[in-house]
Amino acid sequence: MEWKHPWLPITHETQTDMLKTISREKLEDLFCNIPDEFRLKRDLDLPPSHSEYEVAKRLQYLASINRSADDGRVFLGTGAYPHYIPKIVPALAGRSEFVTSYTSYQPEISQGMLQTLFEYQSMLAEVLQIEVVNSSMYDMATALGEAARMTVRVKKGRTRFLVPGTINTEYFQVLQTYTEPADIQIQKIDYDTKTGLMDLNDLNAQLGDDVAGVYVENPSYLGFIESQVDEINEIVHSAGSLLVAGVDILSLGILRPPGTYGADIVISEGQPLGSPISYGGPLLGIFGCRMDRKLVYQMPGRLVGLTRTEEEPHEQGYVLTLSPREQHIRREKATSNICSNQALAAVTAAVYLSTIGPKGLHELAQTIAYKSNYASRVINEIPGVSSPAIGNSIWREFVVRFSEGSTAYDIHEGLIKNNLHGGQILTGVYPELGESMLFCVTELHDLQTIDVLVETLTEITEGGA
C-alpha cells in the first residue's frame, strides 16, 4: 500500500503523471547529479512516522514530566521572566497570517506585518525615550554583543568596551563570543560591594581614548537600581565614548527611561512583553539608538520605515528600509550577519504593549516593585538571612544571603522538597556575596506563596539543614 501523509498531497499516481509531462521516466532521474558513492543506501535511523494523535501523546508526555512554573512557586528570573500574558496577546499574535509569513520582502502584500513592526518600533521608542528601535535581535545577550561591535564601528580606532562588574553572567559570556574575533577587549568596572553601584573612580581610571563604549545595566543583574546614571553619562561622554544602556523593559513603567540619561544605544529583553519563558527561548532582543545618522547607519538588524505609495492618491504605507547596512546587500561589509530575527516575538510585544497601555505598564511595574520589595523585606527578617544582600533599592530581583550554616544548595534542596523553587544560586560567582541566591518576584507571586516561601526558608535555616 502506498505510504501517505497529510502534509504531502502528491500521490504516486500524480507523480507518475507529472514526471511524464517533464519527460523524465522516474523520480530517481531527478537525483542523478548526486554521486552514487555518497547516496544513503539505507533508511535514516529515526522513528517511523506517527499519526497526529500519537504525536500529541508523545509531546504531551514529554511536557508533563517537566515541572511547569505556572503556579507561581518558582522564583527564577535572570533573563527569562515569568509574567502574566493577557489572553488576547497569543490569540492575536498567533494568527496564522502573521505566523506563517516570511520577512516582508514584498511590502504591497505584507502591510499587516510591516505596520505591526513599525508599531513595535514606535511603542518601544516611547517606552525607552529613544527615536530608533530596530525590528528585533535574537535576544538581549546577542543585542549586547552587537552593541559592543557597533560602538567600535562608530568610534573607529577604539577597541575597548567596559562593562559593570555585576553584569548578567550569561550576557557576559555571549558578549565575549561576539567581541573576541573583532579584537575588542572587554573589561569589568569595579563596584561597591555593599550598594552594588558602579565605582566611578574606577570608571574614570579605566576610560581612555581607546574606549569605544561603556555598558550600564538597570536594574542590574543583581536586582539593584544603578542610580548614578547622570554621573556616568557625564563621565562616559566627556571621554568621547558611547553609552550603552541595558534596561529592564517592564521596569520602565516607573523607572527613568535610558533616553533621558544620555544612552546612545539601548538594549533590553523583550520576552516579558507577552512571550512565555518557554525554557529560555524564543526571547526578543530589543535594540535602539539615538537618531543620529552616524549611529543609525551602523545599526544591525532590520528597520521598518514609513512611506507612501508611489502613485497618487498617495496612501501611507510601510517598507523595510536602510537595507544597505545589511548582509544581503553589503555581504562581508554588512553591519551584522543577522537575517531572520525574532519578528513574531516583536509582534507579540506590540500586541502586549497595546493591551496594557501606558497606565497598565506603570501599574504593573508598581505591582512588581511592591511584591519584590515586600518579599525581600520579609525574607530579611529571617535570622541569619539578609536581603537584599547587595544594593539599596531593588526591583523584581534581589540577592538573598544565608550566613548561618545553610548553604545555598541546602536551601535549594529544602525548597524543592516543599514544592517551591528558589532563585538562581550565586555562590562562587560572586565570592563576596557568600552563600547567596538571586530571587525573582513578579505579579505572579501572590502574598500567600511569598509567605509560604518565608516560612519554608525559616524552617530550613533553623534546621541548619
Partner 1 sequence: MDKKSVSDKKTRQAKWDEPLLFERSIPGVMAHQVPIAEEKIRKEIGSLDSLIPEAMRRKGYPNLPEVSELQVVRHFTRLSQMNFSVSLGTYPLGSCTMKYNPIINEAVSSHPGFAWLHPNQDVRHAQGALELLWELEHWLAEITGMDAVTLQPAAGAQGEFTGVMVMREYHRCVTEECEQRNEMLIPDAAHGTNPASAAMAGYKVIVIPSSDEGLVDLEALKESAGPNTAGLMLTNPNTIGVFEKDIAEIAGIVHESGGLLYYDGANFNAIMGVVRPGDMGFDVVHLNLHKTMSTPHGGGGPGSGPVGVKKELAEFLPVPRIVKDEDGFFNLDYDFPRSIGKVKGFFGNFGMLVRAYSYIYSLGYQGLKRASEVAVLNANYIAYHVSRIRGFSLPYSQDAPRMHECVISAEKMKEDTGITAMDVAKRLLDFGIHSPTVYFPLIVPEALMIEPTETESRQDLDRLISAFQAISDEAYSNPEHVKGAPKSTALRQLDEYRAAHPKTLTLSWKMYQENKDE
Q: Where on the chain is the footprint of ligand PLP (CB under 6 A)?
A: 339-340
Could you give the CA distance from residue 244 to residue 216 in angstroms, rounded to a whole number?
6
Of residues 234 through 253, those in contact with partner 1 by CB under 8 A are: 252-253
Side-chain-side CA neighbours of 109 within 13 Å: the count stands at 6
Q: Which does 26 bind (CB under 5 to 8 A by kind): partner 1, ligand PLP, none?
A: none
Could you give the CA distance from residue 159 to residue 276 in angstroms, rounded to a whole number?
37
Secondary structure of residue 17 in the 3-state scheme: helix
Out of 73, 131, 234, 418, name the contact with partner 1 by CB under 8 A.
Answer: 131
Contact (CB, 8 A) for 338 and 327 = yes
Of residues 108 through 127, those in contact with partner 1 by CB under 8 A are: 108-113, 115-119, 121-123, 125-127
309 binds partner 1 (CB under 8 A): yes
Q: Which does 205 bind (CB under 5 to 8 A by kind): ligand PLP, partner 1, none?
A: none
Could you give the CA distance from residue 149 to residue 71 in angstroms, rounded to a whole number?
40
333 binds partner 1 (CB under 8 A): yes
How many of the other CB atoms lie within 10 Å of CB of 433?
21
Out of 187, 238, 240, 357, name the contact with partner 1 by CB under 8 A.
Answer: 357
Could you give the CA distance from residue 367 to residue 122 in angstroms, rounded to a whole number?
25
Q: What is the x/- site pattern for partner 1, positions 41-80, by CB under 8 A?
A: --xxxxxxxx-x--xx-xxxxxxxxxxxxx---x-x-xxx
217 binds partner 1 (CB under 8 A): no
Using the minimum distance from each CB to partner 1, give the nearer residue, 137 or 433.
137
Torsions phi, psi for 177 (to 5 deg): -60, -40
Out of 1, 25, 73, 88, name the contact with partner 1 by CB under 8 A.
Answer: 88
Residue appearing with cell numbers 542610580: 227
Secondary structure of residue 178 in the 3-state scheme: helix
Q: At what angle do helices 447-463 and 408-417 cross, to 10 degrees?
A: 120
Binding residues for partner 1, total number by CB under 8 A = 205
Out of 361, 390, 400, 454, name the contact with partner 1 by CB under 8 A.
Answer: 361
Could you give the CA distance from residue 437 to residue 423 in angstroms, rounded to a whole number?
5
Smallest distance from partner 1 to CB 82, Å: 7
Contact (CB, 8 A) for 131 and 121 = no
Smallest distance from ligand PLP to CB 339, Å: 3
Query: In angstroms, what CA-CA distances link 327 with 174, 301, 339?
Result: 21, 9, 7
Only one of the segments 129-137, 199-207, 383-391, 453-461 lies at the binding site for partner 1 (rule: CB under 8 A); that segment is 129-137
Q: What residue type is 422 in one-letter code?
A: G
Q: Which does 362 bind (CB under 5 to 8 A by kind): ligand PLP, partner 1, none?
A: partner 1
Of residues 362 through 401, those in contact with partner 1 by CB under 8 A are: 362-364, 366-367, 369-371, 373-374, 377, 392-393, 395
Smallest distance from ligand PLP to CB 337, Å: 8
418 binds partner 1 (CB under 8 A): no
Residue appearing with cell numbers 524552617: 459
Residues in contact with 195: Cβ distance below 8 Å, sequence separation at least 6, in sequence order: 224, 390, 391, 392
Only one of the segments 155-163, 198-206, 352-360, 400-408 lies at the binding site for partner 1 (rule: CB under 8 A); that segment is 352-360
405 binds partner 1 (CB under 8 A): no
Using the minimum distance from each CB to ligand PLP, give the nearer residue, 238 or 340.
340
